Structure 1
Amino acid sequence: MQRWALILEAYQYDMQYRSSEQHRNCDSLSRLSLHEIEQEETEEGIFTLDMCLTISSQEIAIATRRDPIMSRMFDFTLNGWPAHVEDAGLQPFFDRRNELTLEKGLIWWGMRVIIPEMFRGRLLLELHEEHLGMSRTKALARGYLWWPYLDRDIEDMVERSSACAYTRNTPKESPLHSWIWASRPGQRVHIDYAEYEGHFFLVIVDSFSKWLEVIPVKSTTSRNTI
């Protein structure tokens, strides 16, 4: 529900009642006739993409064919993928090859368009324009676009953002704990090693009287300390 609320914030819309007979998406096979399917536009996903991004779908389609990795992926998606690929740049797409589709010159992974490399930096800045934070920026991106390591790129961008760092919640400070005052000699002693000019000394201080014992040692092992 938070994702839907975030997506709907990008639109100006009016609420309109629709009867259950007109809800084709819940039972499309019986409520949507073939005649209606032929007449309806098939560019709803493209239109949504154009409304949400400053880069048009036509620009993305042209860049897709010019990108050396995505042009090969386009041909593989259209004509069939090989049994394996050697190019490391194609591997993330090869792993999702059964989930890729083509529409109007764009390559889609599910409902998310795959963005060519030349537009990725620009769209990252656009996604982070309002400084929504890491989680909300990822949620916004997952509604429209994808490329390999998108989440990592968003994390790097948010970590480098001075505005996000300024408004980020700081960790809760731990309360200071003071030692309880000793009421008699020898009730509590503090022990530590000190090094001076290459020599080691075992230092023992009584918390009550502040009496100091300094013992020269040749080794700081636990056996020698005991």
Structure 2
Amino acid sequence: MTASRLQRWALIVSSYNFKIEFISTERNTADALSRMIKTYKETGSCEQSDEPEQTYLHFATEALLLDYNILKKETVHDPILSRVISYIRDGWPGELNIKELKPYYNRKNELYTELDCVMWGHRVVIPSVCRSKVLKELHDSHMGMVKTKGLARSYVWWPGIDEDIEKLCRSCQVCLEVADAPPAHAIRSWPWPDRPWSRLHIDFFGPIAGNTYLVLIDACTKWMEVIKMSSTNAKAVIKALREIWSRFGLPKQLVSDNGPPFTSLEFKQFLENNGIQHTFSAPYHPSSNGAAENAVKTCKKVVKKALSQNLDVDTALLRFLLVYRNTEHCTTGESPAKLLQGRSLRMRLDCLKPERADRVNAAQRHQQLAAGGSQRCFNEGDEILYRNYGTGK
């Protein structure tokens, strides 16, 4: 044993109000230490100090506003801790199969008693009766789960303390009211319809420049319709949808938010009479109707650009829709026009390409020249020879 360790033992013994004389001239320090411990055992039971001892127990109980006398009383009455005290004093058995005592048995070399309370290092082992009060005191400042655990590790311990702190923090109403929002859920896409014009997504946007628009998009082909609305009530929406569906047919499913025109009884009866299933997006969660929201975002940009250029908004929207329907979509890899109508829509840019009729006429002339032969010309009244394919002729 080194001299530094001997000095530490001397300081520990002196903290219990025993007068220790440090023997620096001893050649065998181990003998000196054994005599010191023997002196402590012989005099510890008979010497009493009028001043209260200041130990880790006092430090922990003062921080948690607990009287160590209460801890002492409850520790003695606690069926588990009272048994642990007897094991600490009389010795631990070689093997212990009681489930409740296993956590203490695993720390048997680190547990000791102080003023009839069980200690684990500098932490007080709290009896079961006092644990709720200790938890309340630990979480009094409503710190987070990690910091509350860190605070608890400086003062107290009992089996399952981390789980008890987690349960307390998760059930604290004050913490829940100001807690951060959980991470966003992973994106879940709508199933892609196997046929065009099967599922439609609709939504409003505006008012912009005094106008409100109804946006409709097909989930399969990405075909988009934008209608200026004089009113947003159910009757006006039904009228706009009748006009669109008269050209493209009735869909199987319609997806919308929970706006008043879509939740009205009139709109519900209109869809039921036409055999259309109505699906609502999640309230206060616009991204669940993502197709309509993206279409609204795109159309808003078109309107704002037209206003910044002092252009007619309706003309700008119609020109945009023509180009949009004829452009390959990044999701489907085809243009909405080809998927819905099976053809590309003619645009001004098609003037740069040769007409198909001119190409066909040129090809036919080339075929006539390549076939050879002579040109025949007859006038009325000319005598001609002809081949008769009749039988016997």
Instruction: Tell me, yes or no, whether TM beats 0.5.
Output: yes
With over 3 angstroms needed to count, the CA separation of the structure-2 counterparts of 1:182 and 1:65, relative to structure 1, is farther
CA contact (8 A) 1:182 1:188 kept: no
Secondary structure at 1:102 match in 2? strand
Task: Decide which of 130, 134, 151 is 2:145's aligned counterpart.
Answer: 134
Q: State the identity as a percent.
A: 28
- For 1:201, the equivalent position in structure 2 comes to none
Task: State the partner residue of 2:168.
Answer: 157
Q: Which among 86, 91, 94 is matched to residue 83 of structure 1?
A: 94
Give, as a single letter, the amino acid of the residue that structure 2 aligns with 1:114: V
Counterpart for residue 218 of structure 1: none
Counterparts of 1:188 and 1:106 in 2: how far apart (Å)?
70
Matching residue of 2:71: 60
Tell me the distance in 2 between the aligned counterparts of 1:183 and 1:28.
Answer: 91
2:104 equivalent to 1:93: yes
| 2:57–2:124 Cα contact (<8 Å) kept | no
Partner SS, residue 100 of structure 2:
coil
Aligned residue in 2 for 1:107: 118
1:211 to 340, 348, 370: 340
Question: Hey, which of these two has a bigger chunk of strand by percent?
Answer: 1
Shift of 1:42: 4.9
> What amino acid is aligned across from residue 208 of structure 1 in structure 2?
P
Q: Deviations over 1:193-218 (max 9, x none)?
A: xxxxxxxxxxxxx66235299xxxxx
Deviation at 1:167, TM superposition (A): 2.1
- Report what 1:51 is aligned to: 62
After superposing the two structures, state which structure 1 stretch, 159-168 or 69-78, moved more.
Answer: 159-168
Normalising by structure 1, we get a TM-score of: 0.64
Q: What is the distance in 1 between the residues matched to 2:73 and 2:134?
A: 16
Shift in Å, 1:49? 2.1
Q: What secondary structure, in the 3-state scheme, does the structure 2 residue paired with 1:189 have?
A: coil
Q: Is the partner of 1:101 in helix, strand or coil?
A: strand
Which amino acid letter does the alignment assign opposite residue 60 of structure 2?
A: L
Mapped to 2, the partners of 1:157 and 1:169 lie a distance apart of 17
Decide whether the 8 Å contact of 1:187 with 1:208 is kept in 2: no
Alpha carbons 1:188, 1:208 under 8 Å: kept:
no
Structure 1 counterpart of 2:7: 29
> Given the superposition, is the C-alpha separation of residues 184 and 117 from structure 1 closer, same or farther in structure 2, using an over 3 Å criterion?
same
Local SS of the residue matching 1:85: coil
Amino acid at match of 1:189: T
Matched, 1:123 2:155: no
Matches of 1:27 and 1:96, distance apart in 2: 23
- TM (norm. structure 2) is 0.38
Query: Is this contact kept in 2: 1:133–1:158, CA < 8 A?
Result: yes
- In the alignment, structure 1 segments of 5+ residues that lack a partner are 1-25, 191-205, 214-226
User: Whole-Å Cα distance in 2 between the matches of residues 108 and 144 of structure 1?
Assistant: 10
Shift of 1:70: 0.8
Unmatched 5+ stretches in structure 2: 20-50, 188-286, 299-323, 343-393
Is the Cα contact below 8 Å between 1:60 and 1:115 reproduced in 2? yes
Residue 170 (structure 1) shift: 2.5
Give the letter for the 2:93 counterpart.
P
- Count of matched residue positions in the alignment of Structure 1 and Structure 2: 172
Task: Give the SS at the match of 2:83.
Answer: helix
Higher gyration radius (CA): 2
111-120 or 130-139: which moved more? 130-139
Q: Give 1:50 deviation, angstroms.
A: 2.9
Q: C-alpha separation between the residues in 1 aligned to 2:74 and 2:12?
A: 35
Aligned to 2:158: 147
Q: Which residue of 1 aligns with 2:332?
A: 189
AA aligned to 2:125 is: I
Alpha-carbon separation, structure 2, partners of 1:112 and 1:34: 17
Please state how far the C-alpha of 1:161 moved relative to its aligned partner: 0.8
Measure the CA separation in 1 of the matches of 2:80 and 2:171: 28
Aligned residue in 1 for 2:321:
none
Shift of 1:68: 0.7
State how far apart, in whole Å, the 2-side matches of 1:107 and 1:71 are. 9
Q: Which amino acid aligns with 1:29?
A: Q
